[in-house]
């Protein structure tokens, strides 16, 4: 019985120190109420944000935030953003793991640039 109590106690301690799940947070820094449209899987839901307050819209697996202006912002679901002057600003975004970097061919800065006059460097006049 003592082992079960110890295991349960350790589980409660671990739960107390576990970090909360990240969520999209949007703060309205404007002096007027703002209405956003939160689009998840093609379905929109309007949400109002009073001046000086924040909301955490349902966006756990990504969503699109549409402002009154029609501007749309693709969100991953764990950013912090604010609205000022009718524009959405990203205040904080989590680090992107290197595995999610786009596959971009970046030229080696230590190598000379290709010669535009070399064969294949420019289209030939016909």
pLDDT of 58 over the 60 cut: yes
Mean pLDDT of 53-57: 96
HSE of 60, CA atoms in CB hemisphere, 13 A: 1
pLDDT, position 94:
73
Give the confidence band of 47 by pLDDT, cuts at 50, 70, 90: very high
Of the candidates 73, 85, 74, 75, the residue with the CA atom closest to the CA atom of residue 30: 85
- The predicted-structure confidence for 80-124, as pLDDT tens digits, reads as follows 999 999 999 999 877 767 777 677 677 777 877 766 666 655 555
Structural domain boundaries in the chain? 22-95
Q: Of 42-51, 63-72, 73-82, 103-112, which range is least confident?
A: 103-112
For 4-43, the pLDDT digits (tens) are 444 444 444 444 443 445 789 999 999 999 999 999 999 9
Q: What is the predicted pLDDT for the residue at 126?
A: 52
Q: List the alpha helices (DSSP H) in the chain.
A: 2-17
What's the confidence (pLDDT) of residue 3?
45
- Rounded to whole angstroms, the Cα distance separating 23 from 60 reads 7
Residue 10 CA neighbour count, 13 Å, CB half: 6
Closest CA to 92 of 101, 102, 83, 82: 82
């Amino acid at each position: 019985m003592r082992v079960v109590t110890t295991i349960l106690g350790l589980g409660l301690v671990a739960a107390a120190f576990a970090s909360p799940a990240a969520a999209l947070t949007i703060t309205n820094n404007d002096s007027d109420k703002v209405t956003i449209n939160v689009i998840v899987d093609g379905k929109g839901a309007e949400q109002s944000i009073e001046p000086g307050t924040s909301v955490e819209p349902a966006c756990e697996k990504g969503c699109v935030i549409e402002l009154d202006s029609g501007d749309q912002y693709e969100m991953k679901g764990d950013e912090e953003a604010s609205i000022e002057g009718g524009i959405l600003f990203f205040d904080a975004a989590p680090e992107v793991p290197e595995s999610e970097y786009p596959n971009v061919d970046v030229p080696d800065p230590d190598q000379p640039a290709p010669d535009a006059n070399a064969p294949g460097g420019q289209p030939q006049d016909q």
